[in-house]
Every structure is written in structure tokens, then in C-alpha cells.
Structure 1
Amino acid sequence: MSSSLSGRRVLVTGAAGRIGSVATSHLTELGALVTALTIVEAPELKADRVVIGDTRSEDDVAEALAEVEFVVHLAALPHRDSGTPYDVYTGNVISTFNVLAQAGAVGIKRAVIASSINAFGVPMNPHDVLPAYYPLDEKIPTDVGDWYSLSKQNDENTARMAWRHWGIDVVAFRFPHVNSPDVLRQQADWHTENPAFGVREGWSYLDTRDSAYAIELGLTADLTGAHTFFVAANNTNASYETEALLDKFAPNVPRLRRIPGREVAIDLTAVRTVLGFQAQHELDLPTLPLES
């Protein structure tokens, strides 16, 4: 598998995580020399170099950045309930600032970071709120009511600052729920029985293999600046037509256009146009009638 990343050193933080382990393997298969930064021992990692360390540590990140040309920053506490509010928020924002600031300062020209669909605030919001409109897009108004979503919003702010200050181009992906095919299938079965639970995220998901592919494109695309992209599978993880789901669970939310069939309720125009991304691993679900 040939790639412009072949022979180039890429740092992957959070390399032992759900996305990180798959991304590390994918980049290695492309011929990249991967430095894996992980806070836990991970002997199964397919990396050229492994650094056991903490992305909040200036010394650990400096060690991991040795001879690196590209950065993939995935290390984070991945949910509102992954720790105390203080730990989740400070851990995430300090890690992202530390990694991007050091990468920018040593002249690295491209980084990809994991933001989240939660950066616009609605999915984890403790109040009874829905998105401002469908399909979701990168300009959607925010309504942040939890510390994890705030951390991801500020990670995107850090990316813009790093680009403006050091000139490092940064791609931030607003990942939806990302998982293996078996887990995604279980979630789809749940949404078939309980379809209301996907309304805030537009019934979106992404296979871990497609997250790694998106990261590859983020590293190699011909672009400059700090960019934020929603990224998701093309279709939903619910076995019903999207318009029927919205009619039932978000009837008063404006729609900017029709959303045919089981198309995901996220506008993927930006990631398709700028990066050329199309999900390659989709759930094979039937389309069922939705009970009124």
C-alpha cells in the first residue's frame, strides 16, 4: 500500500485507545514510521517506536516528538463520566494545548486531532434540547452544558490558535460514536428498539477503520489553516427512514434540506469536498416502517 506517508515519522498520542490502536496499525501499513505515545503498556501496538508517557507532561511529549513530521492527537478522557469534571476538562484541554504547542514550536507542519460530535454541546446537554436544525453542519449553533463538550470545543479553539501562532495546519474531526463493527451492530439493534436515543446525534456512527482512513486523509490533504469537520458513515444506525425519525422525534426542528432514505442527519459536504472522505464500512441494515 503506497502512500505519501511512507517513511515519514508520525506521532500518534492515545495510541492504545479505541481509535488510536486502529490508526496506528493503518498508518504502519501505509509505510509510516509511527511513534506511539501511550499512558499504558500496550505490547500489541504495531508501532516503530513506543513511548510510555502522559500527554499532559511537557517532558513526555517532547520525547515523543523527536524526529516527528506529523502528529495525530487522540489522547483524551473520552466521555463526560470518564472522571471528575475537573479531571475530564483539564486533562483534555491541557493535553491538546501541550501537544499542539510543542509540535508547532518545533516546526511540525500538520496535525490531526480528535474533536467530537459533542463539541456543539447538544448530545450531552443535561437539558431537554435538540439541535438548532438538521442536517447538522460545522456552523451549527452551540449549546454547551457539560465539561466534556466544553473541552472538545476548546480543543478546536486551541487548533485555531496553534495555526495562527505557529503556522501548523490542523484538522479536527468531530467524531460521532466510533467503534468496531460488532459493537456498532449492537448499538444499531438498540436504536431499532429505542430510536429516540439517536436524535441529538442524527443517528450517526463511524467504523474505527473509517476513522483511521479519515486520519490518513487529514494528514495528507492539500490544505492550510485550521479546519473542523463532521465525519460519519453515510447512513444512520437506525433501521428507519431519516425523515420519519425526524418527523417523530424532532418535528419542530427546522430542516435545511430533505434527507432521503436512511441518510445520516449530518451534512458531510465539507469532509467529502475538502478531504475526499467517504466511509467505506457501513452497517447493512434493513429499512423498516416506523410506528407512529
Structure 2
Amino acid sequence: MTATNTTKKPRVVVTGGSGRLGQYVVRQLMERFEVKVLDLQRPPQDLAFAEVNVLDLEGLRRELAGADSIVHLAAIDFDHQAKPEVYIHVNVQGTWNVLQAAHELGIRRVVLCSSISACGLSEANLVFPPLALPVDEAHPLFPVQSYSVSKQLMENIAESFVRRGNIEVLCLRPMMVLLPENIAPTLARAKEDTRWLFYYITPEDCARAFECALVATDVRFGVFFITAQDSCRNEPTLEWVERALGKLPDVRDRARYEANPYAAVFDGTKAREVLGFVPTSNWRRDFT
């Protein structure tokens, strides 16, 4: 008689799992986890779903009960061009609600979707250029826009919950997620001279990063850049950065750019070493 594998999959709840990135994350997790989506609309996948707004703390308490872990994606994205107060209200209060419910329910691991915007460099602000290359997670934060500020506050809230002692929160900072609708505008932008730092991550790689963060061991809190290893510009990185910024920041790891002249401005080493996440994309191979 053949033995039947009755091992139950761990249960993960994905807030915002019906969204543009959320659908990729859910698809990635379905083989390894029992997935439930909390969102305002049903996901395309046939799985457990509840219509819940992250501003509804009681609804979150009810629908998160029984979960082993949470991936928190639900937020107002920068692309929505919402009013400043909406970013702060939804992104910040929604994150506090999810973490408060998780803390009360004893859910051990939450993976939070922050953003490259948390550091402020996404704003291409003349007053705040990168201080050194590659930019790692220790770089000072100086966001100005309300969306960027909301992401920094989300990380601060996460760390405050970790200090309570019974919850682990890993904050992922994806670069621009190169969804299909973003490819053509990015190709066009790459032909221009701009202060934008040409960072990206494919949605498939980003989804794998969330899976890596769910299963990573020996880490209770951290922020992690989730980035491709290269930039999305067909020009050696140090050349266009110097032209864009007017001068080249301190290059702490010249060997990196000697080995790969197109290496990314942002450093994914921490995500690789702590989470085991290695991106698979190559801009020149896959998109040009």
C-alpha cells in the first residue's frame, strides 16, 4: 500500500492578493502554502477569499485567525496618484491594523511590502543624491512625497511591533516592478537623460522574494532591497550616473562595476545573504 502524504501546507494570508503584484505573489505561493486572499475584489485564482478593507481592524481580526503567516501587500500605490492624505491614511493605518491583528492572534511572521521609495532616492531630488554606490539598506532615508513617507512609516511601525517580542516582520523594498504595462515606458525613458536611477525588478522575481522572506530563518526584523542585479539602461552604470547627478558619488565597490559595468545602483546583497533571494532577470537579454 502506498503511503499518503498528509502533511498540511502552512497557511498564509495575502492582503492585496488581487492586485497587480499580488496576483504574481499568490501564484508563486500556491504550490508551497495554503493561500487566502484578503482584498476588495476576488483574485483570478480559485482559492480562499474574503472581502476585507485593511482599515477594518475587526474584519482583519476575523479573517486572519488561523493563519501561520501574512504577506501584506494591500496599499495605495504611487501609480494611483492619490491625494497625499490618502497615502498616509490607508498605507500607514492599514499596516498598523494588520500588524496589530497579527500580534493579537499570535501570527509569528509578517512580510511587509515597503518600497524603494522609503529611502527617498526614487524622487530624484536634487538636494538628496545617493551618498555612495551601490546604495545599501544602511543609506540614510530622506523621503519627501507622502507615498514615500508612508512607506518609511510602515517600516517604523513594523519595527515597533517586533520590539513587542512575539512577532517577526520582514520589510521588502522592491524596485520598480516591471509589469508588462511598464516595459514600453521604461524602454522609452532609458533613451533619455534623467536623474531617475533605472532600478527594476520583474514581478516573477519579486514574487519569489516574498516566498524567500516567508521561509527565511534566523531573522526577526529587517529591510531588504529587492532588485535586479543590473540596471534597466543600456549604458555602463557609472557613466550615466555621473552625467545624471553632475558628479559620481563615492563608489565603495568598484569591483562590482568592473565585473558588470551595467550593475544596479541598489545593492541586493542583504536579500541574497539573509533571505536566499537571487534575481534571475537580465535587462539586455530579456527586454532589449
TM-score by length of 2: 0.89
Q: Quote the residue 1:36 is aligned against.
A: 37
How far is the alpha carbon of 1:254 from its aligned partner? 2.2
CA separation of 1:168 and 1:13: change in aligned 2, threshold 3 A = same
Which residue does the alignment assign to 2:27?
25
Gaps of at least 5 residues in structure 1 are none
Q: Indicate conservation of the 8 Å contact 2:14/2:72, yes or no.
A: yes
Q: Which runs of structure 1 show a deviation greater than 3 angstroms over 4 or more consecutive aligned residues?
A: 125-129, 182-185
- Farther off after superposition, 68-77 or 18-27: 18-27
Work out the CA distance in 1 between the residues paired with 2:165 and 2:79.
31
- 8 A contact 1:126–1:146 mirrored in 2: no
Pairing 1:9-158 to 2, within 5 Å after superposition: 9-30=11-32, 32-39=33-40, 41-47=41-47, 49-79=48-78, 82-124=81-123, 128-158=127-157
**TM-aligned CA distance change 1:43 to 1:100, over 3 Å:** closer
Which of 186, 189, 207 is 2:187 aligned to?
189
Q: Report what 2:176 is aligned to.
A: 177
How far apart in 2 are the matches of 1:234 and 1:126?
24
The structure-2 alpha-carbon separation of the partners of 1:175 and 1:7, relative to structure 1 and needing over 3 Å to count, comes to: same
**CA displacement at 1:90 relative to structure 2:** 1.4
Give the aligned partner of residue 252 of structure 2: 256
**Residue in structure 2 matched with residue 168 of structure 1 by the alignment:** 167
Distance 1:19-1:6 versus aligned 2 partners, 3 A rule:
farther
Change (3 A) 1:143 1:248: same
Q: Is the 8 A contact 2:11 2:68 kept in 1?
A: yes
Give the deviation of 1:235 after TM superposition: 0.8
User: Aligned partner of 2:39: which letter?
Assistant: T
How many pairs are equivalent? 277
Match of 2:4 in 1: none
> Between the two proteins, what is the percent identity of the paired residues?
27
- Work out the CA distance in 1 between the residues paired with 2:226 and 2:59: 30
Q: 1:208 aligns with which of 203, 209, 220?
A: 203
Which whole-Å CA distance do the structure 1 matches of 2:121 and 2:199 have between them?
A: 14
Q: Distance in 1 between matches of 2:60 and 2:224?
A: 26
Take 1:78 and 1:67, find their aligned partners in 2: how far apart are those partners? Answer: 28
Indicate conservation of the 8 Å contact 1:24/1:46, yes or no.
no
Q: Please, which moves more after superposition, 189-198 or 130-139?
A: 189-198
What secondary structure does 1:23 align onto? Answer: helix
- Structure 2: segments with no counterpart, 5+ residues: 1-6
Superposed CA offset, 1:83-132 (max 9, x none): 21111111101011110111022111111000100101132266553222
Measure, in 1, the Cα distance between the counterparts of 2:126 and 2:273.
34
TM-score (norm 1): 0.88
| CA shift for structure 1 position 165 | 0.9
Q: How far apart, in 2, do the equivalents of 1:103 and 1:156 lie? A: 16
Q: In the aligned structure 1, how far is the partner of 2:86 from the partner of 2:26?
A: 26
For 1:281 and 1:246, locate their aligned partners in 2 and report how far apart those are by CA, in whole Å.
Answer: 21
| Cα displacement (A) at 1:64 | 1.8
Change (3 A) 1:9 1:66: same
CA RMSD of aligned residues (A): 2.2
